[in-house]
Structure formats: C-alpha cells, structure tokens
Copies of this chain bind each other. A is one copy, B any other.
Amino acid sequence: MSQSASISAEVGRFLDHEPVGVVSTLRPDGTPRQSVTYFIRDGGRIFISTESKRAKARDVERSGWASLCVVGHAPPFPSVTVEGPARILRSGIADATARIFVKMAGGDPPELTDETLAGMDRVILEISVDRVYGASYLNQ
C-alpha cells in the first residue's frame, strides 16, 4: 500500500495555478516517455484527460506509475515534481474532465457524462501523489 504524500499549501497553490505540466511514463522498454499535458489537482491526486489509445495511457495501464513536472512561465522558473501510483479511470470521470476542459478552453464547464466520454475515447489518467520533490522558487 502506498503512502499518500501531503501536498503543502504552497505546492498546492502552484499546481492549481499552472495549466500544464510534463508527464513522464515508462515505455515497454523502460525508457521514459514525456509529453506536455493539461491537468487538475484534487487533493493528493492529479487528473489528466487523455485517450485510451494514447501511448501514455497504455504506459500507465502496464506500469501503474507516472510523474508530473510543473514549471512556471518566467524566470526563475518555479517548479515542482509529483509522482506516484497511476491508473486509467473510465467511470466517474465527468466532473474531473469538465474541470480540465475549462482549464484548456475557459468558459463554462461542458455537460459531460461517462457515456459521452466513452464515445470520445476520453479517459482520466490519475496519479495518486506519494512523493513531492524538487520544489523551487514557488514563492516568486
């Protein structure tokens, strides 16, 4: 059983303010795959909206792990990395997906259901944060 890391108020504010991060997963050959992604935080969990056919989703289904590094937009480039056990969710994902779409596009939350999202092949990549490290310049 993995222990949940406590995300400090300072780290939480930073994660809630930044729209995107770089997610790292593991390919079948064990090398790291990285891509930019929108995300939201819900307590000690990170939610990323993706498609089940995407490489990062398949990596997570196989390896059960993901890492997210979030970097601010200007010098001195505040940053933090969070990581932990990860899984792909297909049900109960409408609210989290709507929150991510608002972060991506602004406006009001779209009306979504699990069924609508299944038709779009949209899933949620969930990271249960059990380690926070590399926090720097978050007070700038």
Report which A residues bind B (CB closer than 8 A): 19-20, 22, 24-26, 30-36, 65, 67-69, 71, 73-75, 77, 79, 81, 83, 134, 136
Contacts and interface: CB of A to CB of B under 8 A. Distances in A.
> Oligomeric state, in number of copies?
2
A49 B139 CA distance: 24
The 8 A-B residue pairs with the shortest CB-CB distance, nearest first, are: A34-B69, A24-B32, A22-B22, A32-B32, A36-B79, A73-B73, A22-B69, A24-B24
Contacts of A36: 69, 71, 77, 79, 134, 136
29 contacts: A19-B75, A22-B22, A22-B24, A22-B71, A24-B67, A24-B69, A26-B30, A26-B31, A31-B65, A31-B67, A31-B83, A32-B32, A32-B67, A33-B67, A33-B81, A34-B34, A34-B67, A34-B69, A34-B81, A34-B134, A35-B81, A35-B134, A36-B71, A36-B79, A36-B134, A36-B136, A71-B71, A73-B73, A73-B74
